Amino acid sequence: MKKLCVFTISFLLMTFSLFLCSLTGPSCFWRIQNNEDNDGDLHRDCGFFLFTSEEPIKEDFYHFCIDFRIPARRYEVFLVMFFATDEINRNPYLLPNMSLIFCLIVGMCGDTLGYLEETHSPNNTWNSINYNCEIRPICDIELTGPSWTTSVKLAINSRKPKVFFGPFNSHLSDHDQFPYIYQVATKDTHLSHGMVSLMLHFRWTWIGLVISDDDQSIQFLSDLREAMQRHGICLAFVNMIPENMQIYMTRGKIYDKQIMTSSAKVVIIYGEMNSTLEVSFRRWAYLCARRIWITTSQWDVITNKRDFSFDFFHGTVTFAHHNGEIVIFRNFLQTVNTSKYPLDISQTMQEWNYFNCSISKNSNSKMDHFTFNNTLEWTALQKLNMVLSEEGYNLYNAVYAVAHTYHELILQQVEFQKMAEPKGIFTDCQQVASLLKTRVFTNPVGELVNMKHRENQCADYDIFNIWNFPQGLGLRVKIGSYYPCFPQNQQLHISEDLEWATGGTSVPTSMCSVTCTAGFRKIHQKQTADCCFDCAHCPENEVSNETADMEQCVRCPDDKYANLEQTHCLQRAVSFLAYEDPLGMALGCMALCFSALTLLVFFTFVKYKDTPIVKANNRILSYILLISLVFCFLCSLLFIGHPNQATCILQQTTFGVFFTVAISTVLAKTITVVMAFKLTAPGRRVRGMLVAGAPNLAIPICTLIQIVLCGIWLVTSPPFIGRDTKSEHGKTILICNKGSVIAFHFVLGYLGSLALGSFTVAFLARNLPDRFNEAKFLTFSMLMFCSVWITFLPVYHSTRGKAMVVVEVFSILASSAALLGFIFVPKCYVILVKSDSNFREKYKNKFHY
């Protein structure tokens, strides 16, 4: 019930936010700032020019030069300018007996609300800025930033050297187009790889991307997409925010819907601040778009909201170039002379923190009690951690680059005695630009700064997480580092005790599909990204191990099988029809018993060989049949026990040969009976054949044919030991594979043809007169024999494993027992039980030999 209430409230809040956003529209967000969001002011960039003077800085110089309200966001810029120039002026080895002074370019760094609308307006001609505090026909070096668009517009109409202290921009590196502008920031060569490494670390595979519609952002998109594809990470969407305000206003709601409806919980922001991209960023915060935002240091947005919210879900993760810590900057902030440096920003904060669509632009009735008289009060409110941002550190290096350039120029003035110009006054911009370009120095932090080569291929990154919970905490926490030139497995370092902005330590997820756990494999959906898939169970006897999201399952080896969860392979137990098995023991006992019984019959026939019934049924053929039946019973034992190559070969050959002997003997007996009783007036030739035992030749002839068939079988494709892994789960059943199935069926077919011939001849002689005529018994025996093996074929092919062996052994025993029972049991009954009937004299009138 509690969870239901929380969900209902969250849904209502989201619905209300979307409804309010639809009413306000994108244009309202040029001016929206919620409550105390003092970092939300959208201001123009800052511009300064630096010059030297032999006079010390007057106490009220900066009060005269900086005579307007300082925007809260740009406050750090002024602190760095004051700190760097003060540090240089106190250095006796750099610009000795000279003062380095800066002055703000009029119209820049101001708090004009309409700045974005002006700069993005199609009719803007950039005539609202005066580039100098005064008309100076000299070549002072200017500092511009952090927006590169401002620097480009300033550089187009100016021939003075400029140092750009904002993020590295490839456009500004084109010295043919911009010969007088230089960058102090290092190029983000490995930024995309660092972000992808972070995604891999947290297993984020479903990422959204929002960039500005400019060349540098498109290049970043290309690098990022390549790195993502290489590591199996997918882009859920790509929003390219147009720079033109009018175009953006027509598409703003589309971008909002894309963010709010996408299942991607991690979104990369790349582009410039003070642009339509920042407007979108502010709107998504207003819509409570709970995402993890991954971006660069210039988007290091620290807010102060008094509403109870998590502020962008788990916070904003920023990548910043690793910079040396300026320890004495902390002392400067604590001891800064506010009478010398005007640092009051109270009025600016009042106007910007409370200005939104529902409050009049000139309304400040709620702000009378807010006053900030010095830096410490502002620092306490901002929770500044006394560490310069990347932008501030770049500006610090830029001031030192200018100072070193001026130092070299003054040395050249003294060396070449150019006293026509006042000391520290330079008019040759080409000379100033040339020296600025080649400056190489070590800053007070110890970092080597080379103005000519700023594309540092091994620039390290610090990774920060911005918290704003609870109640505007505004905490910037370092959570790791990225070292692109280390070995791949050592590049990314993330804090082990990482805690997200929500206070939890569990890693948030951002995936298109739920990870396929062990035992499942991925099935990709049609017309979707590779990261979107379904999970399906592995096929039979295949596994997927502990590694998640396996494309294909791995088949277990033949001697192993998959467990029920199909996560790993287990060793199979070896199984076969053993004598220890109840079934194997029963079949073995049956084979031995029938063999013993057959021997008893044989010895009975030998003992009573002179009796009429034994003589009348051809003693020699009876002996041969009984001996062959003994071997037929015993050959079934070859099918029981652990199979080997010898037993596999003997199984089929002995079975085929001994059964051929038995059936051919039966055939010879039936032929003898027919010839004896059907030929009432036989000629001498036929009688001679009968007397000479010609029917008995059927035995060696038929047996020889079977031996030839078995020989061909053994030569072409002999039986071998087979392993059946499918009949019983978790077991490998050892059986004798027939080798050539065709040869096996040829042997059975030949036996079947002999049996059919014997059955036919016996059937024809079934009604012949004679007390001891066995034609009927031969008919029944062959009928049973044929019935057993006809039934054998479908049953044998429908079973597997040990059941196949059991079926074949049972068929051998049953067919052999049928021959023994129907042919010899009646005779033994007569011999042993009704011995008085076994006299030829009593029935001599019925015999016709």
Q: What is the mean pLDDT of residues 580-592?
A: 91
pLDDT at residue 400 in the model:
94
Estimate the share of the chain in helix, then strand, then coil, as percent rounded to the nearest 5. 45, 15, 40
Q: What is the mean pLDDT of residues 324-346?
A: 68
pLDDT band at 387 (very low <50, low <70, confident <90, very high): low
The span from the CA of 819 to the CA of 665, in Å, is: 11
Residue 718 identity: P
Same domain, 211 and 305: yes
pLDDT band at 198 (very low <50, low <70, confident <90, very high): very high
> CA angle at residue 769 from 767 to 772, to 5 degrees?
105
* Half-sphere CA count of 65, side-chain side, radius 13 A: 24
Helices 645-678 and 802-832: crossing angle, nearest 10°? 40
Confidence check: pLDDT of 816 > 80: yes
The span from the CA of 707 to the CA of 628, in Å, is: 15
pLDDT at residue 723 in the model:
82
Tokens of 463: 């990774």
Q: Could you tell me the CATH number of the domain that includes residue 409?
A: 3.40.50
Report yes or no on 404 lying in a domain. Answer: yes
Domain encompassing residue 213: 18-35+189-322+459-494
Q: What is the mean pLDDT of residues 784-804?
A: 85
Confidence check: pLDDT of 461 > 70: yes
Confidence check: pLDDT of 716 > 50: yes
Closest CA to 347 of 326, 325, 366, 372: 372
**How many domains are contained in the chain?**
4
Q: Which residue has the higher pLDDT, 784 or 121?
A: 784
Same domain, 732 and 824: yes
What is the tens place of the pLDDT at every residue in 730-788?
A: 788 888 888 888 888 888 889 888 888 888 877 776 666 655 567 778 888 888 888 88
* Mean of pLDDT over the chain: 75
Same domain, 527 and 566: yes
Closest CA to 275 of 360, 166, 161, 383: 166
Same domain, 250 and 196: yes
pLDDT at residue 272 in the model:
78
Spatial CB neighbours of 688, under 8 Å, sequence gap ≥ 6: none
Sort strands 492-494 and 475-482 into parallel, antiparallel or unpaired.
Answer: antiparallel
Q: What is the mean pLDDT of residues 38-60?
A: 66
Q: Which residue has the higher pLDDT, 121 or 695?
A: 695
pLDDT at residue 399 in the model:
94
Same domain, 94 and 27: no
pLDDT at residue 503 in the model:
62
Q: Can you tell me which residue has the tokens 């009719």?
A: 123
Same domain, 104 and 217: no
Do 118 and 128 form a contact (C-beta atoms < 8 A)?
Answer: yes
Q: Can you tell me which residue has the tokens 């040029």?
A: 30
Q: What is the mean pLDDT of residues 720-726?
A: 82
Confidence check: pLDDT of 253 > 70: yes
pLDDT at residue 693 in the model:
58
- Domain boundary pick from 450, 474, 508: 450
pLDDT at residue 611 in the model:
82
Q: Which residue has the higher pLDDT, 23 or 195?
A: 195
pLDDT at residue 72 in the model:
60
Q: Which residue has the higher pLDDT, 679 or 196?
A: 196
The span from the CA of 471 to the CA of 203, in Å, is: 30
What is the tens place of the pLDDT at every residue in 366-380?
A: 333 333 344 444 444
Same domain, 716 and 759: yes
pLDDT at residue 307 in the model:
40
848: how many CB neighbours lie within 10 A of its CB? 10
Do 553 and 544 form a contact (C-beta atoms < 8 A)?
Answer: yes
Tokens of 440: 């190489």
177: how many CB neighbours lie within 10 A of its CB? 12
Confidence check: pLDDT of 706 > 80: yes
pLDDT at residue 128 in the model:
36
Q: Which residue has the higher pLDDT, 156 or 643?
A: 643
Report yes or no on 667 lying in a domain. Answer: yes
Percentage of the chain modeled with pLDDT above 70: 71
Q: What is the mean pLDDT of residues 415-442?
A: 80
Report yes or no on 9 lying in a domain. Answer: no
Highest mean pLDDT among 40-49, 391-400, 757-766, 828-837: 391-400
Report yes or no on 588 lying in a domain. Answer: yes
Report yes or no on 510 lying in a domain. Answer: no
DSSP H or E run through 614: helix 612-616
Q: Could you tell me the CATH number of the domain that includes residue 283?
A: 3.40.50.2300
Report yes or no on 204 lying in a domain. Answer: yes
Do 695 and 668 form a contact (C-beta atoms < 8 A)?
Answer: yes
- Domain boundary pick from 415, 450, 485: 450
The span from the CA of 238 to the CA of 230, in Å, is: 18
Residue 554 bridge partners (DSSP): 543
Confidence check: pLDDT of 597 > 90: yes
Highest mean pLDDT among 48-57, 182-191, 430-439, 462-471: 430-439
Q: Which residue has the higher pLDDT, 125 or 389?
A: 389
pLDDT at residue 587 in the model:
92
Residue 75 identity: Y
pLDDT band at 845 (very low <50, low <70, confident <90, very high): very low
Q: What is the mean pLDDT of residues 658-670?
A: 87
- Domain boundary pick from 571, 590, 606: 571
pLDDT band at 474 (very low <50, low <70, confident <90, very high): low
Q: Which residue has the higher pLDDT, 846 or 797?
A: 797
- For the ranges 582-586, 602-606, 622-626, 726-730, which has the lowest average pLDDT? 726-730
pLDDT at residue 588 in the model:
92
Q: Can you tell me which residue has the tokens 């009025």?
A: 347
DSSP-derived letter for residue 689 is: H
Closest CA to 657 of 703, 620, 615: 703
Same domain, 344 and 242: no
Question: Which SS3 state, helix, strand or coil, does residue 560 take?
Answer: strand
Same domain, 212 and 149: no
pLDDT at residue 813 in the model:
92
Report yes or no on 329 lying in a domain. Answer: yes
Tokens of 214: 């400019």
pLDDT at residue 773 in the model:
61
Same domain, 83 and 205: no
Among positive and negative, which fits the CA dihedral 435, 437, 438, 444?
positive
pLDDT at residue 596 in the model:
94
Torsion, CA 246, CA 250, CA 253, CA 256, rounded to 10: -50
pLDDT band at 94 (very low <50, low <70, confident <90, very high): very high
CA distances 790 to 12, 706, 811, Å, are: 77, 19, 10
Q: Which residue has the higher pLDDT, 205 or 135?
A: 205
What is the tens place of the pLDDT at every residue in 476-535?
A: 778 899 998 888 888 999 988 777 766 667 788 888 888 888 888 888 877 778 888 888
- Can you give the three-state secondary structure of 654-688, one letter per residue? HHHHHHHHHHHHHHHHHHHHHHHHHCCCCCHHHHH
The beta-strand segments (E) located in 776-832 are none
Same domain, 764 and 787: yes
Report yes or no on 104 lying in a domain. Answer: yes
- Can you give the three-state secondary structure of 389-432, one letter per residue? CHHHHHHHHHHHHHHHHHHHHHHHHHHCCCCCCCCCCCCCHHHH
Confidence check: pLDDT of 681 > 60: no
